Amino acid sequence: MDLYEYQGKELFRRFGIPTSEGRLALTPAEARAAAEQLGGQVVVKAQVLTGGRGKAGGVKLADGPDDAEQKAAEILGLDINGHLVRKLWVESASEIAKEYYLSITFDRGEKKALFMLTTEGGIEIEQVAEETPEKLARLHVDPLEGYQPYQARRLIYGAGIDNPSEQKQLLDIIGRLYACFVGTDAMLCEINPLIVTPEGEVRALDSKFTVDDNALYKHPDIAEMRDPESVPPEERAAREKGVTYVKLDGEVGILGNGAGLVMSTLDVITLAGGRPANFCDLGGGGDAQGVVDALEVIIADPQVRSIFFNIFGGITRGDEVARGILTALEQIGIKHPIVVRLDGTNAEEGRELLAEAGPDNLHVEPTMLEGAKRAVELAA
Ligand code: GDP
Ligand code: MN
30: domain CATH number is: 3.30.1490.20
pLDDT at 136: 94
243: domain CATH number is: 3.40.50.261
Nearest CA to ligand 1 atom 3: 53
Judgement on whether residues 354 and 295 belong to the same structural domain of the protein: yes
Please report whether residue 16 resides in a domain: no
Pairing of strands 252-256, 276-281: parallel
Please report whether residue 214 resides in a domain: yes
Judgement on whether residues 237 and 254 belong to the same structural domain of the protein: yes
Judgement on whether residues 262 and 326 belong to the same structural domain of the protein: yes
Q: Which of 205, 207, 208 to mutate to test the pocket of ligand 1 (most atoms within 8 A of CB)?
A: 205
pLDDT at 313: 77
Q: What's the average pLDDT block by block, 10 residues per block, for the chain (380 residues)?
A: 97 98 98 98 96 94 98 96 92 98 96 96 87 93 92 96 97 98 98 98 98 96 89 78 86 92 96 96 73 88 94 81 86 91 90 90 92 96
State in Å: Cα 194 to ligand 1 middle: 10
What's the distance, CA 231 to chain centroid?
Answer: 9
Judgement on whether residues 198 and 118 belong to the same structural domain of the protein: yes
pLDDT, tens digit (0-9, with 9 covering 90-100), for 302-338: 999 999 999 887 777 888 888 888 888 888 888 899 9
> Is any ligand 1 atom within 6 A of the Cβ of residue 19?
no
Please report whether residue 55 resides in a domain: yes
Show which of 44, 73, 92 is a domain's final residue. Answer: 92
Judgement on whether residues 270 and 184 belong to the same structural domain of the protein: no
> Is any ligand 1 atom within 6 A of the Cβ of residue 51?
yes
122: domain CATH number is: 3.30.470.20
pLDDT at 286: 58
> Is any ligand 1 atom within 6 A of the Cβ of residue 205?
yes
Please report whether residue 9 resides in a domain: no
Judgement on whether residues 327 and 249 belong to the same structural domain of the protein: yes
Per-residue burial over 141-170, b = 16 or more CB atoms within 10 Å of its CB, e = otherwise: beeeeebeeebbeebbebbebeeeebbebb
Question: Which amino acid makes up residue 362?
Answer: L
Judgement on whether residues 345 and 284 belong to the same structural domain of the protein: yes
Ligand nearest to the CA of residue 192, numbered in listed order: 2
Which residues are the active-site residues? 101, 190
Nearest to 336 by CA among 373, 367, 312, 300: 300
> What pTM was estimated for this model as a whole?
0.77
> Is any ligand 1 atom within 6 A of the Cβ of residue 193?
yes
Q: Which of 85, 96, 190, 199 to mutate to test the pocket of ligand 1 (most atoms within 8 A of CB)?
A: 96
Please report whether residue 153 resides in a domain: yes
Please report whether residue 289 resides in a domain: yes
Judgement on whether residues 131 and 34 belong to the same structural domain of the protein: no
Please report whether residue 284 resides in a domain: yes
Judgement on whether residues 236 and 374 belong to the same structural domain of the protein: yes
> Is any ligand 1 atom within 6 A of the Cβ of residue 96?
yes
Judgement on whether residues 199 and 305 belong to the same structural domain of the protein: no
Q: Report phi then psi at 164, rounded to 5.
A: -60, -40
Show which of 201, 223, 245 is a domain's final residue. Answer: 223
Please report whether residue 167 resides in a domain: yes
Structural domain that includes position 42: 21-92
- Rounded Cα gap, residues 12 and 180, in angstroms: 7
pLDDT, tens digit (0-9, with 9 covering 90-100), for 94-127: 999 999 999 999 999 999 999 999 999 988 888 8
Nearest to 104 by CA among 117, 89, 90, 86: 117
Centre a 10 Å sphere on the Cβ of residue 126 and count the other Cβ atoms it contains: 8
Show which of 203, 223, 243 is a domain's final residue. Answer: 223
SS3 label, residue 260:
helix
Judgement on whether residues 104 and 71 belong to the same structural domain of the protein: no
Judgement on whether residues 88 and 103 belong to the same structural domain of the protein: no
The number of folded domains in the chain is 3
Centre a 10 Å sphere on the Cβ of residue 333 and count the other Cβ atoms it contains: 7
